Amino acid sequence: MKRFALLIAALGWAGANGALAQAPQGDAKAGAQKIQMCQGCHGIEGWRTAFPEVYHVPKIAGQHSTYFVNALKAYKSGERKHPSMRGIAASLSDKDMADLAAYYAEAK
């Protein structure tokens, strides 16, 4: 009985984590129409920015869509702290985030 309970618990945990790992449904073509706000920093190879401090801007092309959406949601909620990204993420709907994630997941 104890083994059965452990198996059920493990399957529940795996199922919950599997749900988190699924990519959101987005439209890459729609995302291509929304990239203007991203390209100014993320579209320039080797770009560095000086606000709020000097740092290398990360590459977002090729990012896994779930990671991408989760990062944007973290900026929107304030969990991630970057003033420019927080402002941009705050302007995005869940659909916008999913579309951008779909576009950048396919981008190279």
As a whole number, mean pLDDT of residues 77-96 equals 95
* 81 in Cβ contact with 70 (< 8 Å): no
Residue 24: pLDDT band by 50, 70, 90 thresholds? low
Number of domains in the chain: 1
For the chain, what percent of residues have pLDDT higher than 90? 57
Looking up residue 68, the CATH number of its domain turns out to be: 1.10.760.10
- Structure confidence at residue 10 (pLDDT): 43
pTM: 0.74
Residues in the chain: 108
Give a yes or no: residue 34 inside a domain: yes
- The answer to whether residue 40 scores a pLDDT higher than 80 is yes
79 dihedral zone (left: phi>0; alpha: psi -120 to 50; beta): alpha
Give the range of the structural domain holding residue 94, as residue numbers without chain letter. Answer: 24-106
Give a yes or no: residue 63 inside a domain: yes
